Amino acid sequence: MSTRNFALVFGIVFLVVGLAGFVPPLLQPPQGGAIAPGEPHMLLLGMFPISPLHNLVHIGFGAWGLVASRAQARALLYARGVAIAYAIFLVAGVMPGLDDMFGLLPLHGNNLWLHLLLAMVAAYFGWVNRSPATR
């Protein structure tokens, strides 16, 4: 797969996930059935903690991916940016006090392994993959 195709696929997936976070039937409250005060997140598909800001971050990465997929150099920058950003999100997610970014961006729970996977795949396309650009 080319880096441009990676950017296109990740862009579409990020957009879909970001928009899905605003669809009530796909959301569940955290375990215990109620959201605690100061805890504005829900669980997407009952597994991934999200918040409105989290959804907007996904939509932003999705839009960036779609735009970046149009040129090889931009797609490479996108892959590297996603790898770095999601590695930072992963590190923040394991640090007490930063794991929910002050109640705005939940980075804990199942988001940890997902952010690790996203960072690793993006790093591959950003620094390792050398497939030719698609025309």
Whole-prediction pTM? 0.88
Q: Where along the chain do its domains lie?
A: 3-128
How far is residue 135's CA from residue 127's CA, in Å, rounded to a whole number? 21
> What count of residues does the chain have?
135
135: confidence class by pLDDT, cuts 50, 70, 90: very low
Residue type, 44: L
Name which of 22, 101, 80 is nearest 56 in CA terms. Answer: 22
Q: pLDDT tens digits for 5-33? A: 999 999 999 999 999 999 999 999 887 65
Q: Is the pLDDT of residue 120 over 60?
A: yes
Stronger pLDDT, 111 or 98, i.e. the higher one: 111
121: confidence class by pLDDT, cuts 50, 70, 90: very high
